[in-house]
Amino acid sequence: MPTAAREEAEVQDTNFTLPPTATTPRTSNYGSTQASGALSAPKPTTTSSRAVAPDLLRGLILPLMSLDHAALFMGAWLHGTPKQSESAGTVFTQWNFNAAYISRTLTHLCAPGFFFLMGMGCVYFHRCRARIGWSSKRMAGHFAVRALALTVVSEMMGESLMWARKILIINIVLIGLAVDYLLTSLLCLVVDQTERVVARRLDGWMGEVKKQGGDGETRPLLSDELEEQRSSAATTPSVRSQTLSFWLHNAVLALLTYITIFWNVWLSPTGGHCSPTSLTPSSAPTELLALTTTSAAQPSPAGSRLGPWFDFWFYPVQNRWVVSGFPPLGWISFCLMGMLYARTMLHKRWTAKAVVARNYPPSPSFMFFTMAVNFALLAVFSAIPPALATSIPRLMNYGGSALFFYV
């Protein structure tokens, strides 16, 4: 097979990555065995290619973000789908006009996408560096340096824009990304260690510990305690235990994702409800990015009884010392979801067979696949203002007289 054709076939056979190099293992599993195997196996000279799909998504998000920020700084329209604030617990009484509403709805993808892709990137980075022999200590140091760099860049950029206001901490988004990057990447290291420990414990409970590189026979009983310790250190968990440990950790990540998104409601100063004082909101929204002279006179977001330094982690904060629109722990759920997604995608190679849906009669995969698309389309059509939706050519005619057009 020609080289170009072979590379094209390899691209089509992966989930969303470019073809691996010759020194890269053909399998793409993520888990404790990869990290442990990388330390004992010969170190490869090159690493696998970058994943394509995450870069493409990030490339789409950046123009959307630039559209949002350009409209904000030029004052083209109020920054929100309503004409009041998008802050939690704030009553709004009027939607923004059509162009602003559609633009802001599209740009809502930006911040969740960045945090989600960052969680994915932590898993990819850990897996790649563990394969070429990086220790956990070295990776932790790398994570800390990158988080510090993001923080410094955020402070330098913020201070240059808000020099006259003498703000101490300016978290437009980069500090939130830095904190969540550090927490998520360290969690990757913890999960790598605990996966191996849990897998060995499961083997001990199930009596399925096998020799590393053996023929599948169980480890014989040893009378010499020292020899038994050496043999135990040379063993690797069974495939069954590794799989159970992997999915147990994924379940924990899913639970953490649920908790960390809902604690934004549970810990809300208003209990997740609009406060009585917000029934007559100001027509000017609180803009953490609109660095104008009038922003100092705008109302600050609601705070808790624990003070602004606690609020910094969970709520937007705007006072004389801190301007923060992206609380790190308020957004970490997207990083955890990205981590879970990347682990699942890297667990095994996904091919086109994974999305084959039989519909005579409908299979569960057919139902889940088609209804996911239908729900997404309903959400898109629901977000379009009625005046604009009814002007879409033919769709209202077809939808209102479906039987006539079917016949």
Distance of CA 160 to the CA centre of its chain: 30
Same domain for 299 and 185, yes or no, is yes
| φ, ψ dihedrals at 394, nearest 5° | 75, -30
Which pLDDT score is estimated for 188? 94
**Residue 80: both structure tokens together:** 């929100």
| Domain around 159 | 3-355
Please give the Cα distance from 320 to 11 (Å, whole number): 53
Same domain for 19 and 139, yes or no, is yes
Residue 365 belongs to some domain of the structure: no
Same domain for 321 and 386, yes or no, is no
Residue 360 belongs to some domain of the structure: no
Residue 52 belongs to some domain of the structure: yes
Same domain for 374 and 346, yes or no, is no
> For 27-97, where are the alpha helices, taking DSSP H only?
32-40, 52-74
Q: Residue 383, Cβ neighbours under 10 Å: how many?
A: 14
Residue 362 belongs to some domain of the structure: no
**Residue 56: both structure tokens together:** 């493409």
Residue 148 belongs to some domain of the structure: yes
Same domain for 88 and 163, yes or no, is yes
Same domain for 376 and 237, yes or no, is no
Which pLDDT score is estimated for 248? 94
Which pLDDT score is estimated for 179? 92
Closest CA to 301 of 329, 332, 323, 328: 323
Same domain for 37 and 80, yes or no, is yes
Burial of 295-320, coded b for 16+ CB within 10 Å and e otherwise, reads: beebbebbbeeeebeebbbbbbbbee
Same domain for 271 and 295, yes or no, is yes
Which pLDDT score is estimated for 170? 79
In contact, 51 and 29? CB cutoff 8 Å: no
Residue 60 belongs to some domain of the structure: yes
Residue 243 belongs to some domain of the structure: yes
| φ, ψ dihedrals at 305, nearest 5° | -80, -5
Same domain for 272 and 378, yes or no, is no
Residue 134 belongs to some domain of the structure: yes
- Tens digits of pLDDT across the chain (407 residues): 444 444 444 433 344 444 444 444 443 334 433 433 433 344 444 545 677 788 888 888 888 888 777 777 776 667 677 766 666 666 667 777 777 777 777 888 888 888 999 999 999 999 999 999 999 999 999 999 999 998 888 888 877 776 666 677 777 788 889 999 999 999 999 999 999 999 888 888 877 444 444 444 445 544 455 555 555 544 677 888 888 999 999 999 999 999 998 888 888 776 666 665 544 444 444 444 444 433 334 445 555 566 667 778 888 877 777 777 788 898 899 999 999 999 998 887 766 566 666 666 777 777 877 888 888 888 888 877 777 777 777 777 777 776 776 55
Same domain for 328 and 385, yes or no, is no
Same domain for 295 and 382, yes or no, is no
Using the structure block, give the residue that is written with the tokens 């499961």.
202
Same domain for 391 and 351, yes or no, is no
**pTM, 2 dp:** 0.68
Number of domains in the chain: 2
**Residue 2: both structure tokens together:** 């020609």
Please give the Cα distance from 74 to 185 (Å, whole number): 37
